[in-house]
Amino acid sequence: MTDRELGTADDTRGFGEALGRQLRAGDLVLLTGGLGAGKTTLTQGLAAGLGVRGPITSPTFVIARIHPSLVGGPALVHVDAYRLGGLAELDDLDLDTSLDESVTVVEWGHGLAEDLSEDRLEILLEADPETESRTAVVTGHGERWKAGPPC
């Protein structure tokens, strides 16, 4: 487990971009945090690091978006599980069919998407409402991350 202080939205994007450069096809990233904690901002950074087509916006109403690579790398599958009623609705998205060939990021995924892969990163974002600074707590699970999170 690694804690990272992120003072601004730009810091959050920068952290995401550095992490995105280390991700590869088959990686699953679960983002958890309250409204306004920076989940979509972090995903924008991940997308920049992966070199995928944007813009990256919250997929709250469309549930999932696929952003193809512009640099020959994996696509980014960006999912917002906030409106999903449970595991059955997540399963209906057929994420497991594209999991091996893309990087999948699931906002609001804790307690819902862990079964998609034993190898995953879980990132908890906590925002201080007074300063708007954030803390990212990154936890790696599975063989891929046994040496620890990449940040």
Query: Which domains are delineated in the chain?
Result: 2-142 (3.40.50.300)
pLDDT band at 27 (very low <50, low <70, confident <90, very high): very high
* Per-residue pLDDT at 6: 94
Predicted model pTM = 0.88
Long-range CB pairs of 139-145, under 8 A, 24+ apart, other chains included: 139/1, 139/2, 141/114, 142/117, 142/118, 143/118, 143/119, 144/27, 144/119, 145/119, 145/120, 145/121
Better-predicted residue by pLDDT, 144 or 93: 144
pLDDT single digits (tens) 29-80? 999 998 889 999 999 999 999 999 988 987 666 667 889 999 999 999 998 8
